[in-house]
Amino acid sequence: DTAVSQTPKYLVTQMGNDKSIKCEQNLGHDTMYWYKQDSKKFLKIMFSYNNKELIINETVPNRFSPKSPDKAHLNLHINSLELGDSAVYFCASSRNFGSAGNTIYFGEGSWLTVV
Amino acid sequence: GENVEQHPSTLSVQEGDSAVIKCTYSDSASNYFPWYKQELGKGPQLIIDIRSNVGEKKDQRIAVTLNKTAKHFSLHITETQPEDSAVYFCAASRDTGNQFYFGTGTSLTVIP
């Protein structure tokens, strides 16, 4: 019973393609995130949703579009993939931003390789 | 905004020795400091956390210390084992904030 699950785990695709990564959490959390981890292991926040509402939108190309159909799901769609998009994308969730001990729980990651 | 710095970036220790990873933060309003362990091919997992009203917290072989005045916090792993080998991240956030700020990670290798 994985708490934060994301699919696919591995994705190899050609430049210019459009792809989606799906994420679901069964923790009952209100806030979900997408992080990008580059080859140097840096964790960079991309987006955050609280109860289906976008609350963090870092400087990310417009080709990246998050969608949250409900508070348990946050999907990431990427248009016109570029070589530089190759990275590991982590979905995460937390109880409620702004509440005490608001710990983030990460999924297992989606390894995206653009060729 | 908050800036979290983490040192060292790589650390090798002999099995049984101690390992210490240090982080500093810039925002005095930060009051929650979790540590994550990321094993190869997996997502970061919370291993210990500390709030700003506490100076030290221990959980078996791991401990975290916090110095609010100096704005730094550290992870201590004693009696290291090969399975402690991983990348460790510190982070800082505040209850009234809306995001976590992560350090740049420390790759720990425990040599058997």
Distance of CA B87 to CAs A4, B9, B104, B110, Å? 20, 9, 10, 12
A5 touches chain B (CB under 8 A): no
Instruction: Taking residues A70-89, report their average pLDDT.
Output: 96
Q: Do B49 and A101 touch (CB under 8 A)?
A: yes
Indicate the pLDDT class of residue B11, thresholds 50, 70 and 90: very high
- Which neighbouring-strand residues pair with A33? A48, A92
Please say whether the beta carbons of B91 and B36 come within 8 A: yes
Tell me what percent of the residues of chain B surpass a pLDDT of 90.
Answer: 79
CB-CB contact of A65 with A77 (8 Å): yes
Q: Is the pLDDT of residue A97 over 80?
A: no
Record: contact A106-B43, CB cut-off 8 A:
yes
Q: How confident is the model at residue A11 (pLDDT cuts 50, 70, 90)?
A: very high
Taking residues A39-57, report their average pLDDT: 87
Average pLDDT of span B4-11: 97
Q: Is the pLDDT of residue A101 over 70?
A: no
Contact between B2 and B25 (Cβ < 8 Å): yes
Task: Compare all CA atoms of chain B with the CA of A107 and give the residue at the minimum distance.
Answer: B43
Nearest by CB: B98 against A98, A103, A106: A98
